[in-house]
Structure 1
């Protein structure tokens, strides 16, 4: 090195290479390239699979205490819950036994009273399960068609019910299908009984309001909003005590002798898929005495003594 000159370059041992900014730009570019290549070409998937396979035993070992603690907690919690369920079941069994004793006693007393009064046992209703196919296209009536008909044993006038109550009545029979007139139809009518007051009446369809109404009820009659109406069972068609409708509106007009009572049917046709068709109870009851006597007279060739023979050409 000549005298009078100053060399400011560091010795080769202390040289630092590229600058920090250059290294940042280079490695950032490499990272962006690898991310783009992994997204487009999936180059990193084999690497991740190998790393995950290598780390899986370590994960299992590290998670074993946590899983063991959770399993032990579930085990002891299940034992405690099972004990609580056993105690609850025993308490419910005791309550059911306490309720069953009076019921058995009442059934025994009921059987004794029926035997004493010589009453007939309650009718065993015959029923048929059916499915609603479609609603009739007549805009002036409310009817649906079901997939059971005369070949399935259905009878004309059979009541149709669903899980909520009376839906309607079979009004037309075909070989494989049947037409059911809903309670909200304008031509529908059903005898009802007020559950609270035990008063009988007839409910009619009101298609204008998509509901029903009670007609010819005195303005001062004991009827309240929310009263539930059941079938009375006196028409020989509907079994007794089936839910029909509920009172939703009551208007007592001073200028009229009758009240205007609106009803909401408990069974709606919208959304109903499966129904139950019940044979009319009149088909399971014994024949009336005059009908039975007429049938016996016709069978034996005798004339009914209650009715004199008619003379030809003269109306009896």
Structure 2
């Protein structure tokens, strides 16, 4: 068994234009003072990383590491970029906010920009010595997730085949650079549970770089077995967002939320320890299967202040980390090990 690394923190939700949240040096010092030892960078935020430079220059990447006050860069997040690889026209206006103004109102140009940025993020990951790249899959089918009106035969297969086709050049670049794509399994993405992950994996021809970012909070909101998910897909889990959630259905509202704001929804994200995720089981199961990468806080809570959440979460994650055993607990009661003794125990001699 291997030990999980952490605690680390995803910087996206804390980024601001005011110190100490306005650049990598300042925010990493803030995180270090809270007890974090790693930072996950939002790849779209120029205050923390320039993907163009990082893709081309290892020296730039070394300098970037030097700005982190001794903290490690865990991964580059490309969620908002990956979202734009596959989009449905119904979401075009909303998704323009994820891209530069030069490609707004131009879906084709926006998608081409996203593919180019994903490949740069892969090269940047290689230059930083990172092995996994968290991202979103995007969605062509999400508007049909509820089967009414009835989905025509072949629609789902066509959607996943086209999704795989869009990701193929990115996945091939990932293979060339030795980087795994860790798709966050997330509602509004076509990869939002185990079945859809399997569909996509099959559509890519079981591409060796198709993997998972595991975040149990999204499974709580779907009423999905988030611990059993690790049993099923542990070989594919290459990144881990530590985020809490709760689901409290009422006579008035359930999984779909009634278009309510987060604070009023039955399913909502919470600060670590304030929700319903059994993190002791999650960390135990991941440790059991040898997950040895980072445990990264993704803080999203509609009730608690971000700085309080970050401060408490460093201690929370640290308390979940398991020092794996150097020897078996029952070694003291063991006898000599040799084949002759084993044969005698089995009555073979």
Compare the two structures and name the one with the higher strand fraction: 1
Compare the two structures and name the one with the higher helix fraction: 2
TM-score (norm 2): 0.23
Q: Which structure would you say has the larger Rg?
A: 1
Q: Which has the higher contact order (CA 8 A, sep 6+)?
A: 2
TM-score (norm 1): 0.25
